[in-house]
Chain A
């Protein structure tokens, strides 16, 4: 397995897109950075975007114990496996890939609000597990 080897300094597509398969040859650009990696690879690319979630609980003020519950549970567990391969012979001119792998994962968590009024409980739970190999 080979992680992203070189930070791209130039030749990055300027439109904020991705060019890992295009003319610039193996450049992956995200919002904050860009990476160059070999053109021939086994790729796992993942993106998780979560946000703007709300949990609101309005309990009454004369309740002796909380009996108002708003719960927002989110669990994401993703697995990506691009498989295994046997490295080809270096003497083979057509051998372009020695089982190089590239794993790309971008996770963005936006706002998750919880508000409770009175005797009440509001909860946002988020659990994200990712695996790439």
Chain B
């Protein structure tokens, strides 16, 4: 008589345990084997059995997300850029940065002076070896351009006519250019069998500085 309640309670406990563990298994299918980093989700290999057929080992070059492409355009008026680390996790990402500009003489200096500082820096710019922080950067170019613009370089073959032409101020003459690219980091992580990850950073910097005086200016500078 005393055995019946015991067997009933044991059955109840058994059902509860089965229900509990089955719930865990369902939860595992959605949470374990996946790691969320920001907007990216890494699916670890041991979770592959829960991935739909399109991610089977027979499919090649499959990405979890749509390939993305960023374009950054720079010029002499927008010559500084800070970029984030480029990271592709089971995906394809491309970033193009292009500086393509020409200076033909600053009118402020009667077309005889060009200066520009181009800087592209990433997140890790000062991390490795302290190289960046110890480096000369473009200090001397900055100083040089500063002095040139502040003091002015004696203009060529100065004559009384020239002095009249340029009044009190002497004009700097030359091209001054500094380019600084540092701390650009690119990483690609592939965690899927048959998957792919591609991260590409393209930085193209093509500055041109030309002093091409108009004939009347050239004549006055003689």
Interface residues of A (CB under 8 A from B): 17-18, 20-22, 28-31, 39-60, 62-63, 67-83, 85-86, 88, 92, 94-97, 99, 106, 108, 110-111, 113, 118, 120, 122
Which residues on the A side are within 8 Å of B194 (C-beta)?
A: 63, 67
Which residues on the A side are within 8 Å of B185 (C-beta)?
A: 53-56
Whether A60 touches B153, Cβ cut-off 8 Å, given contacts A75-B205, A83-B211, is no
Which residues on the B side are within 8 Å of A67 (C-beta)?
A: 60-61, 190, 194-197
Kindly list the 8 A-B residue pairs having the minimum CB-CB distance in the complex, ordered from nearest.
A43-B174, A67-B196, A83-B211, A68-B190, A56-B187, A70-B188, A80-B175, A18-B140
Q: Is the interface of B mostly helix, strand, loop or mixed?
A: mixed
| B203-A110 in contact (CB<8A) | no
| B186-A82 in contact (CB<8A) | no
Residue of B nearest to A124 (CB): B186
| B174-A71 in contact (CB<8A) | no
Whether A63 touches B193, Cβ cut-off 8 Å, given contacts A40-B154, A49-B180, is yes
B159 within 8 A of A: yes
A81 to B212, CA, bound (A): 8
Question: Given A17-B140, A110-B132, list of 20 further CB < 8 A pairs?
Answer: A21-B151, A42-B173, A47-B138, A51-B131, A53-B181, A55-B187, A60-B191, A69-B199, A73-B200, A75-B203, A80-B209, A81-B209, A82-B173, A83-B211, A83-B212, A88-B157, A97-B156, A108-B136, A111-B128, A111-B129
B177 within 8 A of A: yes
Number of interface residues of B (CB under 8 A): 78
| A73-B211 in contact (CB<8A) | no
| A58-B190 in contact (CB<8A) | yes
Interface residues of B (CB under 8 A from A): 45, 60-61, 88, 114, 122, 124-129, 131-132, 135-141, 143-144, 147-148, 151, 153-154, 156-160, 162, 173-213, 218, 221-222
A16 to chain B, nearest CB (A): 8
| B179-A78 in contact (CB<8A) | yes
A28 to B143, CA, bound (A): 11
A88 to B156, CA, bound (A): 9
B116 to chain A, nearest CB (A): 10
The listed residue (B61, B147, B178, B213) touching A83 by CB distance below 8 A is B213
Which residues on the B side are within 8 Å of A51 (C-beta)?
A: 131-132, 135, 182
Which residues on the B side are within 8 Å of A118 (C-beta)?
A: 190
| B190-A63 in contact (CB<8A) | yes
| B125-A52 in contact (CB<8A) | yes
| B175-A82 in contact (CB<8A) | yes
Which residues on the A side are within 8 Å of B137 (C-beta)?
A: 49
19 contacts between A and B (CB under 8 A): A18-B140, A42-B174, A44-B174, A49-B182, A51-B131, A54-B185, A60-B191, A67-B195, A67-B197, A68-B190, A69-B188, A70-B200, A73-B200, A76-B179, A77-B206, A78-B205, A80-B177, A81-B210, A94-B157
Which residues on the B side are within 8 Å of A41 (C-beta)?
A: 173-174
A92 to chain B, nearest CB (A): 7
The listed residue (A30, A46, A56, A82) touching B188 by CB distance below 8 A is A56
Which residues on the B side are within 8 Å of A85 (C-beta)?
A: 156, 218, 221-222
